[in-house]
Amino acid sequence: MSSRQENQDDADLSIHPSYTNLKVPYDVICKRTYQAARRKYDKQFLYELKMQEAMQPSAYDAMRFNRYFAITTLWPPLHTAKEINYTLNKMFTLTPKEQSRLNELMTEKQY
């Protein structure tokens, strides 16, 4: 006979619960709905900003438009590092072709 007592956990039904009668709490449903709506709104807002930027008559006007909205709309007066990183990662991304062209222009000597 061993000194340790064996646990009789084999009959415990919680090891493999049945999810047929599971009810998700209402606050979880609300949170998921709110998060999905926010993602949808953010995606639509960024799309509209990009379309407005693309409709500007010159590259200079497009840059001014982008800068104005990035500073006044996307960055509130008190912003966190998370919000700044989100804006930088989502708004100011260049395609590889654009990035290589920018790097090329930045390395050229200006006279």
Q: What is the pLDDT of residues 33-57, one digit of tens each?
A: 999 999 999 889 889 888 988 898 9
Supply the pLDDT for residue 40.
94
3 state SS for the chain = CCCCCCCCCCCCHHHCCCCCCCCCCHHHHHHHHHHHHHHHHHHHHHHHHHHHHHCCCCHHHHHHHHHHHHHHHHCCCCCCHHHHHHHHHHHCCCCHHHHHHHHHHHHCCCC
Instruction: Report the predicted TM-score, pTM, of the whole model to 2 decimal places.
Output: 0.48
Residue segments in the chain with a per-residue pLDDT below the cut of 50 = none
Supply the pLDDT for residue 95.
85
How many CB atoms lie under 10 A from the CB of residue 65? 16
- Domain range summary for the chain, segments of one domain joined by +: 24-73
